[in-house]
Amino acid sequence: MKAALRGRVVFGTSAVLFGVIALKWHDADTWQNLQHIWNLPFGTIIGECLMAAQIAGGIGMLYPRTARLASAVLCVVYLCFSLACVPDIVAAANIYDKYGGSFFLFFSLFCGAVALYAATEADAARALVVGRVARVGLGISAISFTLGQALLLRETAHLVPKWIPPSQMFWAMLTTIAFALAAVAILINRQARLAMRLMALMLAMFGVLVWVPHLRAHPEAHFDWSECVLTFLVTGAAWMAADLRSF
């Protein structure tokens, strides 16, 4: 498999899985902030259509002939998901959402879809502009990831497996600094490709070392399934942005 396709596989399969579990488990632990969609007129139908579109987009992006259309579909889906998190920012429901944590989580997925669109754009000049949008958006999202961990440092440390030396707090602080450095590198476009690849690697390790063990220990926990899949979705988004030829 070509290296440039691996990020698409991670993103696409994660998109399909997130859509599947959301349609299977129609609860707040799975949907998280997206539950606000249910409060809209015909909200349940809208939410289910968006999840179905996400599944279709995740499958479509794996095939060259449908990748461009899939990228457009996923851009719409993840933009809607991002906007669904705005009420929690306005209400300042918790310290994480007060600074746009959930919004930028889904916005980073939107940036991944934009990166896919740029990769399928035939016009080089247009691809460059769209690629820059994906890069800058991902850099801003990385700032939010930094704030999210810094504001909830103890909670972040608690997620780190105890068997990893030297300590849980050490890794919580180190990964927070890593997110901050990645954000700076991406936004100023200095070693941005390397920064996005390292951020994707770090996120993948979060998924493998943190959330997969949680799932094995508590397969009935819908929140853990959601967090695991979302982690790999952001991994795929950063990976695809890093694989762009120019930005």
Looking at residue 62, its pLDDT comes to 94
Cα–Cα dist 88/74, whole Å: 23
Where are the chain's structural domains?
A: 3-242
Instruction: Kindly report the length of the chain.
Output: 247
Looking at residue 4, its pLDDT comes to 63
Q: Name residue 11's amino acid.
A: F
CB 210 within 8 A of CB 161: yes
CB 101 within 8 A of CB 144: yes
pLDDT tens track, the chain, 247 positions = 565 689 999 999 999 999 999 999 999 999 999 999 999 999 999 999 999 999 999 999 999 999 999 999 999 999 999 999 988 877 766 667 677 788 999 999 999 999 999 999 999 999 999 999 999 999 999 999 999 999 999 999 999 999 999 999 999 999 999 999 999 999 999 999 999 999 999 999 999 999 999 999 999 999 999 999 999 999 999 999 999 987 7
The two tokens of residue 72 are 């457009």
Burial class (CB in 10 A: 0-12, 13-18, 19+), 237: buried
Q: Name residue 180's amino acid.
A: A
- Which are the contacts of 140, defined by CB distance < 8 A and separation ≥ 6? 104, 107, 183, 187
Residue 13 has phi, psi (to 5 degrees) of: -65, -35
Cα–Cα dist 56/132, whole Å: 26
Looking at residue 3, its pLDDT comes to 54
